[in-house]
Amino acid sequence: MKDILPKEETYWKTCYRTAEEIATAYEYGMIQTPVVEEASLFVRSIGRGTDVVEKEMYVFEDRDGTKVALRPESTASVARAYIAHGMHSLTQPVKVWYYGPMFRHDRPQAGRYRQFHQFGCEALGERAPVIDAELIVVAYHFLKDLGIQTQVHINSIGKPEERERYIVELSGYLRSKRSYLPEEIKQRLHKNPLRVLDSKLEEMKPIIEEAPQIIDWLGEESKKYFMGVLEYLDEMEIPYTLTPTLVRGLDYYTDTVFEFFEDGGEDGSQSALGGGGRYDLLVEQLGGRPTPAAGFAIGLDRVISCLRRKAEQQQGEGVVPQEKVGKIFFAQLGDQARRRALKLIETLRKDKIFVHHMLGKSSLKAQLEMANKLMVTHTVILGQKEVQDGTIIVRDMESGIQEIIDQKKLTNRLEKILRPAS
C-alpha cells in the first residue's frame, strides 16, 4: 500500500477528469459502493477456486461475527446494488461507472499493490454485441485520451456448458503432456484447468500454443455474438488481437472477455492496464432476476506509472498538462503585514484570484527568490508602511517597475493583469 503525494496530484486529477468526461458522454451514472462488503458476496461471485478469493482477499470478522472483506473489485458490489435497489425496474441497460480503491493481498512486485485504484464501467440489463463494443470503446478511448495507445486482446469463453465441454477436452490434452508440465501447472490443472492457459512460464509456451482453442467449442449463437462484437470494433477502428488463451481469472465471465495492453509496453506487455467482459449469469447467481451484463475495470496505478514514464521520456514536457500555475506572488514584510496578508489572500480567493505565498517566511529576499522560481509575472508586496496607509505595491517582475495602489483596488488591478482582455 502506498501514499499518493501532492507531486502526483496532477496525474490523479487528470485521470479522474478524463474518466468522468468519457463516462458521462456515454451516459454512465456514477455509483459509489462501500469499501467493505460481506465476504460471501465475493466468494459467490468471483469464485472459490480463484486466486483473488483464495489468496488475495482481505477478510476479517466484524464485531457481530459477520465475515466482511475489503472489496477486491467492484463488479460484484455493483451487481449487489443493482439487486438491492430494484434497478431492474429502471430503463435497461442501467449504466454505471465507479472510481476508487480496491484491495488484494497480491504478491509484491512491479505494478502490483495491495491497495490499488480502478476506474470501471458496468452496463446491466441488456445482451447485445453493441453493449460489449461500447464498453471497449469507452475503455480504449479513456486510455487514448490520456495519451496511451493500446491493443485490445479479445476472446470469447462462451456459455458455461460450452466451456465445460471445452475444459474436458483441454484437461485431456494437458494430461497427455503431463510429464512436461511444471509442478505448479500440475496443481493448477487439478484446480482450474482454464487458468493453465494464463501461464506466463516459458516452458509452457509451446504446450499452450498447441492446445485446443475454446473458440472451436462455441455454439452458433455464441460465435455469432462474438463476431458481432468484432464487427463493431472494426467499424470503430479499434486495434484488437484475437487471443485464444485469454480466459481471465474470475469465475463470473461468459462470452466476450478482453484486456488492454499498452502498444510496445515496457515489460513485454505482461501486465494488462485493464480488462473486462460479459457476465450474464452473475446477477441471478447473487439472487436477482436473470440479468445479462458486461463491464470493464482499468487499473489507475498502472496507467499513472505509464503516464509518468512517458512524461520522463519527453523530459518533463508532460503528457499530462501541468495544473494552471499562478502568475502572482504575494510577499509580506513584518508581523502586521503578515496578518493583513492572510486577510487579503482570503479576499482574493473569494474573488477567484489565486496567489502564491509563503507566509511563514519573513525575509523579503527568500520570498522574491521563490517568486522568481515560480516564474510569476507579478509580485504584490505588503510592508509595514503599506499596512499603515492602506496601500500595496505591485511589482512587474520582468521590468522591475513598481506601482503603489490602494489595497481596495487590488482585486481590480490583479484581474487586469490576469485577464487583460476583460
Q: Which is nearer to ligand AMP, 109 or 322 (CB)?
A: 109
Contacts to ligand AMP from residues 56-75, by CB under 6 A: 73
Rg (CA), the chain: 28
Question: Which position among 76, 94, 124, 297 is part of the footprint of ligand AMP (CB under 6 A)?
Answer: 297
Stretch that binds ligand AMP, among 188-196, 268-276, 368-376, 398-406 (CB under 6 A): 268-276
Separation CA 105–CA 115 (nearest Å)? 8
For 144, phi then psi, to 5°, come to: -65, -40
Question: Which position among 113, 142, 166, 253 is part of the footprint of ligand AMP (CB under 6 A)?
Answer: 113
Q: Is 158 in the site for ligand AMP (CB under 6 A)?
A: no
Q: Which is nearer to ligand AMP, 158 or 299 (CB)?
A: 299
Question: Which position among 68, 101, 112, 305 is part of the footprint of ligand AMP (CB under 6 A)?
Answer: 112
* Shortest distance, position 277 Cβ to ligand AMP, whole Å: 9
Question: Which position among 173, 301, 318, 361 is part of the footprint of ligand AMP (CB under 6 A)?
Answer: 301
Separation CA 175–CA 270 (nearest Å)? 26
DSSP 347-410: HHHHTT---EE-TT---HHHHHHHHHHTT-SEEEEE-HHHHHHTEEEEEETTT--EEEEEGGGH
Question: How far from 403 is each of 134, 372, 396, CA to CA, in Å?
Answer: 58, 19, 9
Q: Is 104 in the site for ligand AMP (CB under 6 A)?
A: yes
- Residues 152 and 259: beta-carbon distance below 8 Å: yes
* Shortest distance, position 227 Cβ to ligand AMP, whole Å: 24
Stretch that binds ligand AMP, among 193-201, 296-304, 328-336, 359-367 (CB under 6 A): 296-304
Q: Which is nearer to ligand AMP, 269 or 285 (CB)?
A: 269
Q: Is 294 in the site for ligand AMP (CB under 6 A)?
A: no
Locate 76 and state its grid cell: 460484484
Sequence-ordered list of residues with C-beta below 8 angstroms from that of 412, at least 6 positions apart, any chain: none
The number of residues that bind ligand AMP (CB under 6 A) is: 16
Q: Is 387 in the site for ligand AMP (CB under 6 A)?
A: no
Q: Is 274 in the site for ligand AMP (CB under 6 A)?
A: yes
Helices 220-235/129-145 angle, 10° precision: 40
> Whose CB is nearest to ligand AMP?
299
* Shortest distance, position 75 Cβ to ligand AMP, whole Å: 8
Q: Is 207 in the site for ligand AMP (CB under 6 A)?
A: no
* Shortest distance, position 81 Cβ to ligand AMP, whole Å: 18
The residue count for the chain: 422
Choose among 278, 300, 250, 265: nearest CA to 154. Answer: 278
Q: Which is nearer to ligand AMP, 52 or 355 (CB)?
A: 52
341 three-class SS: helix
Q: Which is nearer to ligand AMP, 104 or 378 (CB)?
A: 104
* Shortest distance, position 373 Cβ to ligand AMP, whole Å: 35
Q: Is 132 in the site for ligand AMP (CB under 6 A)?
A: no
Stretch that binds ligand AMP, among 105-113, 175-183, 190-198, 228-236 (CB under 6 A): 105-113
Q: Is 125 in the site for ligand AMP (CB under 6 A)?
A: no
The side-by-side arrangement of strands in the sheet containing 29-30 is 29-30, 94-103, 115-124, 293-299, 274-278, 254-262, 150-156, 240-242
Would you give the binding string for ligand AMP spanning residues 20-59, x where CB under 6 A is met? ----------------------------------------
Question: Which position among 11, 82, 99, 116 is part of the footprint of ligand AMP (CB under 6 A)?
Answer: 116
Which residues of 111-233 form beta strands (DSSP E)? 115-124, 150-156
Our separate counts of H helices and E strands in the chain read 15, 16
Q: Is 273 in the site for ligand AMP (CB under 6 A)?
A: yes
* Shortest distance, position 329 Cβ to ligand AMP, whole Å: 39
Separation CA 32–CA 341 (nearest Å)? 40
Pairing state between β 378-382 and 328-332: parallel
- What is the 8-class DSSP label of residue 254? E
Separation CA 388–CA 337 (nearest Å)? 9
Which residues form the interface with ligand AMP (CB under 6 A)? 73, 104, 106, 111-113, 116, 118, 272-275, 297, 299, 301-302
